[in-house]
Amino acid sequence: MKIAYKHLIKLLVKTPSIDDLSKKLFQLGHEHEIENEIFNMEFTPNRGDCLSLIGLARDLNIFYKTNLNLNIFKDKIPELKLGFINKVPEKCPNVSFLKISIKHKVKKYEKYLEDYFKDLKINKNNFFTDVSNYIAYETGQPTHSYDFDSINEPIVLQNASDNDSFQPLLSKNPIKLQENDLVFFDQKDAINLAGIMGGVRTSCNKETTNCLIECAYFNPESIIGKAVKYDLHSEASYKFERGVDPLCHENVLRRFIQIVQDHTEVTSVEIYNNISSEFKEINLAIDVEKINNILGTNLNKDEYLDALKGLSFNVDKSITAPSYRSDIKHQNDLAEEMARVIGYNNIEPIKINIPKTPSKPSISLENTIKSILIDNGFYEVINSPFVSNEKNNSISIDNPLDSSRSFLRTNLTNSLINNLLYNERRQKDSTKLFEISDIYSLDNKKIQKKKVLCIIASGRVAKNYRDFSKKIDLDYMNSIFNLSEESKKLNFKIISRDNLDTKIKSAIVSLEIDMDDMPESINQYKPTSVRSSKFVQYEPISEFPSTYRDISYSVKEPFKIKELHELILSLENNLIKDIFIFDYFKNDHKNEIKIGFRLLFQHTKRTLRDDEIKDLISDIVKKTTNIKNVDIPGLN
């Protein structure tokens, strides 16, 4: 909600700077951004009472004295004879109607009213709607202005029936109401979707001289969700959803009359009140000890009670919150009030001592499995559980994001096949992945949960000269888990590529197994890798294709290998993504070593051109063949 700094300070006795005010608002828990001296406030949902100039000023009273006595109409208001039936008092315990009649001509808007539209860049409408909008900004109470002469009494507040039609003010087409929508009807049809938006037929216009102003309290439960359901977001619905002051109606309507009087001659005012149940206030014990026990502070009773009084709480034999503070229900709420007044940041931390329960060190099977896989070059993935395909035991989502995500997956293998193909499309020739996740399915209408491990691998065993030409197959996978008689029996399978969208031929080996079926004997495994605890800074990855070049050397003096290797590893170029030895062969008879390096190139912002790589390679070749007895066979 937008609140102008210059409007707010008019209600404060002292004038704080905007920065000072901003700091205090944060201390009170009112997040905001400031733009051109306008506070764009983000109130927590329990503080609907702050959604207005007066509401926010009231909360600031503890720091800056406020003056909230605005001019109101003070004369006695005669009773209005109105045909009105409230069929749902539990949803609307309290509603008032004010009929106000004016001489047609309305003066130029007074400065306070004009400023509201100008400073907050709000479009004007007609006079009564404008006053209604301003009143909501000033007091927090939404009102609805009907053109009295367009209404066919009696007005009935009731639940709609399915398919009742209603044409809201700010909607192109009529909406179809649903059962349980709270709606005002007149003799003809629906005139107001209560708390959300009024209808076109009975709305005020520039010619309206007899206006009926509705001022109500609706239970938030009866309003919530409707604005979203019909896409009819309004200031009013936002306020009603968060709860408004049930006892403010008379004051708000008197203020309404005053503002109208400021602009034109009022010929008559009449009021109709429908009160089905009285507001019940909550009394809380004065217990500063309890507050100190909750916060860990040493407040004395006087400073505690002064703070509450500053927030307009009534302090007598007990503590009573003002009627607009529907969020105050028990002592912890009072503790929060006190913490806000002190400032959360000013409460000193006190050492916490959690009693230590003796825990037995246990080797978790899950961690051991992860170690085995990581030591062998496997990466853990986490996939979304949402899938489009249904099996008869799938759990369905009632309100999916879209139809491609309307069920929960019943296996992990399909997710990992997609991960594999995704990486193969990015020129990865060795992909080893695993995932451990709970999966859910239905068994006789009962939800079954199981923790599942899935492993998938395809391509080269590893990017070193020993394993480079070896392809991942069943033997390789079994060798990883060659730990015990049971672990040898893991049922790795080959997945056919026939139905997959890929041209790559290497075998896909996979395993999907319930974690409960993994043999405990796997825990014999001794991890070889040490996990680093430092946090790496991530470098954005390139979406452009990578390409590789191989350089094969003949080294006649074996000890030059080291020099060559170090030289190549020291090559620094943004385009080189990876370098590894893919081939190594020692010919003892000739005293010659053949060594092959594979270099991977990729640009972060575009596809690399052949000539760029060629230039790079010839530079590397020049540097490396400068080493004595290091040659590239076949190179001129």
Query: What is the sign of the dihedral through the CA atoms of 72, 78, 82 and 85?
Result: positive
- Please tell me whether residue 386 binds another protein under the rule CB under 8 A: yes
Cβ distance to another protein smaller for residue 15 or 418 = 418
Residue from 347, 363, 494, 632 binding another protein (CB under 8 A):
347
- Please tell me whether residue 441 binds another protein under the rule CB under 8 A: no
Q: Coil, helix or strand for 22? A: helix
- Please tell me whether residue 527 binds another protein under the rule CB under 8 A: no
- Please tell me whether residue 29 binds another protein under the rule CB under 8 A: yes
Q: How near is the Cβ of 554 to another protein at its closest, in Å? A: 14
- Please tell me whether residue 580 binds another protein under the rule CB under 8 A: yes
- Please tell me whether residue 483 binds another protein under the rule CB under 8 A: no
- Please tell me whether residue 383 binds another protein under the rule CB under 8 A: yes
Residue from 75, 280, 352, 485 binding another protein (CB under 8 A):
352
Instruction: Tell me, by CB under 8 A, how many residues bind another protein.
Output: 107
**Separation CA 565–CA 580 (nearest Å):** 10
Cβ distance to another protein smaller for residue 82 or 416 = 416
* Footprint on residues 301-330 left by another protein (CB under 8 A): 330
Q: Which stretch binds another protein (CB under 8 A): 159-167, 179-187, 206-214, 220-228?
A: 220-228
Q: How near is the Cβ of 440 to another protein at its closest, in Å? A: 6
- Please tell me whether residue 498 binds another protein under the rule CB under 8 A: no
Q: Coil, helix or strand for 523? A: helix
- Please tell me whether residue 5 binds another protein under the rule CB under 8 A: no
**Is residue 419 within 8 Å of residue 409, measured between CB atoms?**
no
Cβ distance to another protein smaller for residue 374 or 483 = 374
Q: How far lies 277's CA from each of 157, 159, 166, 203, 247, in Å?
A: 16, 19, 29, 29, 12
**Separation CA 609–CA 616 (nearest Å):** 11
Cβ distance to another protein smaller for residue 347 or 632 = 347
* Footprint on residues 394-423 left by another protein (CB under 8 A): 395-401, 405, 408, 419, 422-423
**Is residue 288 within 8 Å of residue 319, measured between CB atoms?**
no
Q: How far lies 31's CA from each of 128, 183, 597, in Å?
A: 32, 34, 57
**Is residue 218 within 8 Å of residue 195, measured between CB atoms?**
yes
**Is residue 542 within 8 Å of residue 602, measured between CB atoms?**
yes
Q: How near is the Cβ of 581 to another protein at its closest, in Å? A: 6
Q: How far lies 407's CA from each of 23, 113, 436, in Å?
A: 47, 54, 19
Binding mask 541-560 for another protein (x = CB under 8 A): xx---------------xx-
- Please tell me whether residue 375 binds another protein under the rule CB under 8 A: yes
Binding mask 40-79 for another protein (x = CB under 8 A): ----xxxx--------------------------------
Query: Could you tell me which of 409, 288, 411 has the C-alpha nearest to residue 338?
Result: 288
Reported for 462-468, long-range contacts at CB under 8 A and 24+ positions apart, including other chains, are 462/377, 462/430, 463/430, 463/578, 463/580, 463/582, 463/598, 464/580, 464/581, 464/582, 465/581, 465/582, 465/583, 465/584, 465/596, 468/582, 468/583
Cβ distance to another protein smaller for residue 123 or 574 = 574
Q: Which stretch binds another protein (CB under 8 A): 26-34, 144-152, 503-511, 516-524?
A: 26-34
Q: How near is the Cβ of 307 to another protein at its closest, in Å? A: 14
With b meaning 16 or more CB within 10 Å and e meaning fewer, what string describes 199-238?
Answer: bebbbbeeebbbbbbbbbbbbbebbbebbeebebebebbb
Q: Which stretch binds another protein (CB under 8 A): 62-70, 180-188, 205-213, 579-587?
A: 579-587
Question: For 554, which DSSP code?
Answer: E
- Please tell me whether residue 335 binds another protein under the rule CB under 8 A: yes
Cβ distance to another protein smaller for residue 208 or 297 = 297
Q: Coil, helix or strand for 138? A: helix
Strand-pair category, 155-159 with 84-86: parallel
